[in-house]
Structures are given as C-alpha cells and as structure tokens.
Structure 1
Amino acid sequence: MLEEKNDNLHRDADGLNEVSSPEIVPTDQQQAVNSILLSNAEESEDNTANESNHIPKLDYDSLSMEALTDELQKLISLEKITAIKDHAEELRKAFLSKYNDFIEEKKEAFMEQNPESETEFEYEFPLKNFFETLFNEYRDRKNAYYKQLQKNLNQNLDNRIAIIEELKTLIDDADNRNDAVKKLTALREKWNHAGPIPRDKYNHVWNNYHFHVERFYDQLHLDRESRDMDFKHNLEQKQKIIARVEELLQEDDIIKAFRELQTLHRIWKEEIGPVDREIREEIWEQFSDLTKQMHDKREQLFEKLREAETDNLLKKVEIITEMDQISREEMTSHNAWQNQIKKIEALRARFFAIGKVPAEKNEETWYLFKLATRNFNINKNTFYKDLKHDQQQNLTKKLALIENAHALKDSEDFEATTPQMKRIQDEWKKTGHVPKKYSDSLWKEFKDACNHYFDKLHLARNQENDEEAASYSKKKEYLDLLKEFQLSGDHKTDLEEIKLHINNWKNIGRVAQSKRFIEGKFNKILDVLFDKLSLSKKETESVKFNNRLDQLAESNDQRKIQNETVFIQRKMEELKSEIFQLENNIQFISNAKPDNPFVKEVYKNIEKNKEEYKMWAEKLKRIKEL
C-alpha cells in the first residue's frame, strides 16, 4: 500500500469517489506500483481469473469437429465454468471455421451436381446443433455465475463501506477509547473476511479504510506501549516482505517472482497495519524501489519476448508465403498432390511450433494462414473431385472388362479367344484408377477370370505339345518308309498309292512349329514321285495344291495363307496380261489365213494360257474358302 499521506488527499474519504494514493511515490516508481495495484484490483473482483492456467490448451485448429465437440463437453463436465472462458471461445472459433469450410464444400458439390437447380441449398448437420447446445449451456452457466458474482461484489462493497463507517464512529467516539483496540481488531477481522468487491472501487475503498485505520493510531490517545507494540509488529512483517522481495530479485523465473510480488503487495496493503509515522515513508520507499526493480526486470523479459514474437511473426509470414506459392502450383497427378500435401502439413507443423506473435498481429497472421490453407484445400479438392469423376468412369470401364473376361474364360476356341483376352488385359492396364474401396476386389475378380482362362490354355497347349512331339516321331518314321516306296508303273494304281500316302501323312497330326521343316522333306519326295508319273500338268498341280492346302489349313498360319494368296493373284495377273498381249498381236496381223502356222501357234498359246488361268482361279477360290 502507499503509506505516506498527504493532508489534501483525504478530504473526500467519506465518499466513494476515486481518491489519490495516500502515499507519495517517485515518478519513476509510479508505473511499477500501479501495474501491481491494477492486477490486484482485477483479481479482487474475480479470484478465478487465473484458474484457467492449469488447463492445457490443445491445438484446436488441428482437431476435427468431432474432437472439438468432445473437448468442449469434457471441459464443461470437469472444470469450473469460469476457468474455461478462453478455451470455450477458441473451441467455438475453431469449430465454426471448420464448419463453414465444410458447408462451403458441400454447397460446391451440390452446385456441381445440380447446376440448373433452383432449389436453395440446405444441409442438416446434427453435430453443429449439438455443439451449439453445449456452448449455450456453457454461456448460460457463465452468465449466471457472473450475475451472481456481481450481486455478491456489490453486497461485499456495502459491507466494507459499513465497516469503514463503524471505524469512523470508533475513532470519533471518545468515550470508548479504553476498549478501542479490541474493537479495532474485531473490525479488521471482519474486514479481512468481507470478500471481493468491484475492481473500479478497489483502490478507493482500500485507501479509505487504511486512511481511517491510520487516523485511529494517529489521533486517538491509546496506550503508548500497546500502540508501539502494534507498530513494531507491523514493521517486522513489512521488513520480512522487503527481505523476501530482495530474494525474489535473484529468482530466474521472473514471471513467477512477479506473481509472488503481487501477493506480497496485497498482504502489505490488506493485512498489515501501519507503522510509526516517522518511518512510514522510508519503509514504503524501500518497498516501492524493490518493486520498481522487479518491474524493470519483467519489462526487460517482456522486451525480449516481444523481440522473439516479432521474429516469430517474420517466420510465420515466410511460411504463409511458401504455402501460398505451393497453392498456386498446378499438379496433374495423385502422387504430385500427395507430395504437395506433405509439404503443406510440414509447413503447418512448423507454423504451430514457432510460438506467439505480437498480440496486435495475431488476428491478421491467423487470417492469412487460414486463407493460404483454404486456397490450397480448394485447389486440392477441385483436383480430387475431377479425379473422383474420372475414377467413376474407370470403374464403369473395368466392370465391363470383368464382364467380358467372365464371358470368355470358359471358351475352348483358344485361337480366337486368346487375342481377345490379351486385348482385355491391355485395356485394363490402360484404364486408370478406380475408387480405392473397389480397387482390390475388382482386381481380384478380373485376375481370377483371366487366370482361369489362361490356365486352361496352358493345359491345352501342354497336351498339344505332347501330341505334336508324338506326331513328329511318327512322321519321321513314315518319311523313312516313304523313301523306300517304288512306283508300279500302273498310272492309276500309283496315283491312288500316292494319295493314300498323303492322307496317311495328314492323319498323323500336326507337329510343332519348330519341326515343320519335315513337311518340306515330304513335299520333295512327292515332287519326285509326281515327276515319275505320266500325269497331266493340271492333274499334278491339283494333287499338289490339295496337299498344300491341307498343310496350310493344319498350321492355320495366316501369314503363309496370305503369301500363297498373293502368289496366286500375281500368277493370274501375269496370265491375264499375256493373254491380252497375244490377242492384241492377232489384231495387227492382216490378211492372215487361219491355217497360217504363226497364227495357229498364237491361238494355241492363248488357249493354253486361258486353261492355266482357270486352274489358278480355281486355286484362288479354294484358298479363299480357308
């Protein structure tokens, strides 16, 4: 308390108007003392002001709306309603921010799906209603508490004013001086239990009270020995406080030390009575000087903290700028966006780990941070909305491919089905991603259908390979036997024998592609046998061609069939051109008689070429039937 009185300071002591401090404080100490007086005045009004310090604050912006709701419900259930004011307000701010973003996304999705709809967008979100119910409960309980608190503060104020009036009566009543000290003690005890009062009345009421206590000691003619003992006791208590403050000046935890200094000021002012007038100014000067030293240390600490906060501000602005740059980059793939998301998450973690910024910049910094985050999320959500649309289309395509695979998996027409199954597999590879919840099941179903078919194909080919190996061995043996075959000289008999050998060879079966050279050896033997036969060229060609057609049909080699077709077409073109040339030559021979040898030779060649053309035309017709 401010000890030294000025005679002009207390002329309004009987009222409740503000009065100046009853002690003279040097100008350079006034700020230090006033800061403590103000803090104590605030705490005297509501002694729960610091109860929230023990309740940890989570990173509310990183929590989901469900987690924020759970946290508010827990605080309301477990903590004093006055201790969670800051927590509740920040929880609501974080919840509404996330809720607004959530509703905006839902609205955008609605507009995308219903671009021409005239229906006003509405979205029912039960969690929002539950959160508001919890917050309203908190607010109602808080309002009820402060309403009752204000009533109690005013009642306590009335009680303290009444005590001051009793004290004034005690001082003015000269007839009761013998037991005045005893009554003063009772009044002081009553004062100490009167409870908190409004902060704007705190200093005036306390100064008024102490003014009259000092009047009691200074103006009443009490027993000197009793008064001196009381002064001595009060001096000892104040000297102990001074000693403790000197110790506090050496503490490393300045904030904690300053809090204790506030308590010591309250004790000095509220619990300890006056000391002898001759030393009041001196001891107060000593206490207030130590207070200034502690205040200066705290200001130096705060200056360092302000410097750190300014540095934090610069760091956070850099992070916001980097987030803004990332949000402007165009990403075209899921992996690229995942890398960007990791970058943003890392930047957010750095942002929250940096620490406080200057209070006057806090709102602006937070707004810019939220804006950068929101811009990034808008671009990200737009990409994934488009990706989701593409994935739905891919889902439709893959379901169709699975249906095709199921339709073909039991086919035994391997030559026709295998290319189709391979085409389906290629299309599957080219088709993009589907929604994750379908991906594994679709792939398993498609893979099982393909495996079912190709397992059958491989089994058939393995069996076919065994048959082809056996056919090769038989044909090799038959080729050795055919080499010993001799013509009898009977044209018809020998021709039938050769045809029989051709049928036997064909009935043995096909051989592997790598062993098909044996067919050439067989054809060479046939050529030798046909040369020995006195057959017409047409008949020979027919038998040979029939054998060749059978081999082409057996191999089903489309390339060889195509080559054979082209060869025949070229032969026909050559014959057609030759016939045209011969017929054209006849037209240039004038006055030639029909029995002219040259003319007869030309006509003979024309007929020969026409017969051969018919033969090749028949071959072309037959090969096309393959």
Structure 2
Amino acid sequence: KLIFYKLHNAELEEDRKQFVETKGTEDGYIPKISDEDEKEFKRLMAVIKEKRNKQSVEIEKQKEENLKAKLSIIGKLKELVETSEDANKSYNDFKKLQQEWNEIKQVPQNKVNELWRSYQLYVEEFYDILKLNNEFRDYDFKKNLELKIRLCEAVERLADEPDVISAFHQLQKLHQEFREIGPVTRDLRNEIWNRFKAASTMVNRRHQQHFDQLKEAEQQNLDQKTVICEIVEAIEYVNLTSFAAWEDKTREVIALQNKWKTIGFAPQKMNVKIFERFRKACDEFFSKKGEFFKGIKDGMNENLKKKEALCEKVEALKDSTDWKETSDILIKLQKEWKTIGSVSRKHSDVVWKRFITACDYFFEQKGKVTSSLHSEEVENLTLKKAIIDRLANMDESASNKEAEEEVRKLVKEWGTIGHVPFREKDKLYEEFNGLVDKHYERLHISISDKKLYHFKSSLSNLQETSQSLYKERERLVRTHDRIKNDIQVYENNLGFFTSSSKKGENLLVEVNRKIEKLKDDLDLVSQKIKVIDEELEKES
C-alpha cells in the first residue's frame, strides 16, 4: 500500500508539472482527487484483506488441530515413562513419537512454551530411566549436544547480522529446531540452554531496539506531518484578496508539499489517514484558488462592460456645444473611469483609446471657440510683475514662519491671475520660479509642496483658452492611471521575489522603493488634477 501511494503521489506531481509546462503557470490547476487506478487498487486491497482473513481462520484452525496432536503425543510419552518396565524395549516407540512431534508444525502461540516444557519433561524422564542400554542414550545425548552447540553458534552469529529483521526471523526458526532436538546429559542441560537463551536475548534485544527506534521515528514523522496539515488547514482565505497574495500562499503550500515528501512514514495505522488529511487540505486550497481566479476574470469582464458604457456616454456627448455642462459631465465621467478596476490586457488599450478619443474631440472643439482677451493678458502681466517685485524685495529679516506665509500667499495669488501675452510667459515664468525656488530653499519647504506650487503657477502660462487646461487634465488623468497601474504591477511582482538570498533581498528593497516613489507621484498628480478642477470651476 505504501509503495502504491508513493507512486500515485509521484504521478500527481508529474501531472502538476505537465500542467505548468503547458500553461506556463499554476493558475487554475486543481490536482486530481482520485482516479481509476486508485479505485482498482482499493478494490484489490479489499479482496486481499478478505482472503487474508479466511487464511488466518484456516491457520488458526490448523494450529488447534496441531495442538491436539501434540497433546496426544505428550500423553503417549507420559504413558511410556510411567508404565514401561523396560525403557530399552520402548525406545523405538519413543523415537517414533519424537519423529511424529517434529513433523507437526505450528500451534497457538500462547501454548508454545507450556507445550514444549511438558514435552521436554517426559523426554528427559524417559532418557533418565534408560538404564539397561546406555549406548543408545549416550549416543543420542552426544548427537543432541552437537546439534544444540551448532544452533548456539548460529544464534551467536545472528548478533552481528546487519539485517535485524532477518536475524529475528531466523532466530524463530532456530528456536523451533532447538525445541525439536532431544535432551543432552543432565550436567550440560542448563549450560547449553543458558548459552542458547543468552544469544537469543541479544538478537531479541536488537530487534526490540530497532522497532522502538522505528516507532519513535514514525511518531516524529506523524508529528511533523500533523503540523503541516494544521498549517494548510489554518490558511485564512478571506485575507487572500489579490493575485500576489495567492501566489505567495501557493509557494508556501508547494514548499510544504515538497517538505512532506522528505518526511518518512508515519505509524502504519495513521499513515494513510494523515496523507488523506493533507491531500484534502491541499485540494481545498487549490480549489479555492481556482474559484478566486475565475472571480478575477469575471470581475474584469464586468469592468469592461462598465468602461464600454462610459465610452457610449462620452461618444453621445462629444458633439455637444453646451461647453460648461458637458465639460462637467465629461470630467465626472473621467473620475468615474478611474474608480473602475482593470480589464484584461487585450481590451485595455482599445477601450481606453475609444474613451479618450471622444473626450479629446469635445475639448478640441471647445478650445476652438474659446479665446482670451489681450487686454486681460496685459493686465495679468502687470500683476505678475508686481508679484515678482514683491518676491525679490521680501524682508529677509522676517521670521521663517512669516516669510513662508508670505511666499505661499504670493504663489497662491500668482495662481489666481490669468494668462499673460505668449511672448512674455516663458521669461516671466522662469523669473518667478527662480525667486520662489530661492525662498523655498532658504525656508526648507518640502519638495512636494515646491512641485505643487510650481504647477499652480504654471497653469496661468497655458494656452489662451480653457482648452489647454482640459488637455492638461486629460494628460494628468492618463498619468494617474498609468502610475496606478504601475503600482499594481509592482505589488503583484512582489509575490515573485524571495528574500532567501542577498540578490532577492536587494530586489525586494528596490521594488519597495519604487512603489513608495510611485505612490508619492500618484498623490502629487491627484493634487494637480484637483487644482485644475478648481481652476476650471472658477472659469465657469
């Protein structure tokens, strides 16, 4: 049975490897729970068990018959000892009974020693009363002694037999032979028996030690396998909510499966039970993994339907000339787009291009009919130059807090001022940013604040109409989606790295650093989109 399940498990492992080689991944793999070979094996084992039971009944029946026959022989020996006046004349009858005894084999185990002692008692008594023909007795004693010495030597050699199990089984046969040999002279009986018994004790002790060690090792194996079962059974599936989490846990389960293979057999009565427990836990894991990935696929299909519905809404609005209301609706739809999860790679670019093409068309049409007044730009130029003068002439003796508040105030004021003449904007922007950077550096204002304030100030330098703001917003939305997707990819990829080596640990550190950087960038982009939304709200 153990060999069958070892081969059976090897076949299951080979099946898993072939699945991975074919699909390139373990996603969706569900191990086989049973097969026809296993069913046939269990059927044959049941047949064998039934035959063994019948055979055991027959053997026990034969042992009882043998017991009756040997008891009959003992009775006849007793009669010879008690009634024979001339033992020499009864010698042939005695030898015939000995031969009959030796031809009868197994008896019930609980009767072996008692039966042998009774037999030996009457055999020895018969030899003791042989007085008229010592030649027969002495010859038998001599031959019996030679045979028993050989058996003692054979048992003593078994003490060095490497195969403890084989030595034990050989000892049982030698014991049977020892019992069947007649007695030796009275003065040597205890000596030869003690020698044989001492050698037997050595073999039996080695046999017992072997099985004690084997039993202890099997119990340790059972303990280890029980712990592995408990680990797999304790998996909290509610926490496995991402691809990376499932892949991490899959690697753990496969590692436990590999460890299981290195552990030896458990005690026989528990070996199959503990394996079935482990297989059940693993089957449950891979089944739930399959359900999860099916759910992911269904979720992506649902997300695709939602994004296609948004595309239809945008396409229905792209020719609208109600610029304010339609702009608000499209911005709302763009925000809704961001809340929808990912779709499959083969549909992602197509549906995005469909959506953004319709949005771009509307905002391009809106930009064509939107213009800025030149007089406002000149006035804005004067206002911004005044802010530059105030930045250049700030009181450096003021406290950092006062200075920071003044800089923030001027930057905010700069952002509220509209466009300036196109030919002046770059020079003005560079001069303004140079002064702001100088104050930021002196006041130790954070880099993220610095970037955001630069962005706010740059809004006034976009094109004359709000078309540029919409385009910038669209660009930022795309950037937001791209960064969000990059973060998701990196987080999923974390599941494929291991920290078991220095190289793996360095990769983990690098990927985590990139993720944190991307999250900072994502936050900044979100703030920029919010700034544009506020600017568009003011223009409306």
Q: TM-score, normalised by structure 1?
A: 0.41
Larger radius of gyration: 1
Q: TM-score, normalised by structure 2?
A: 0.47
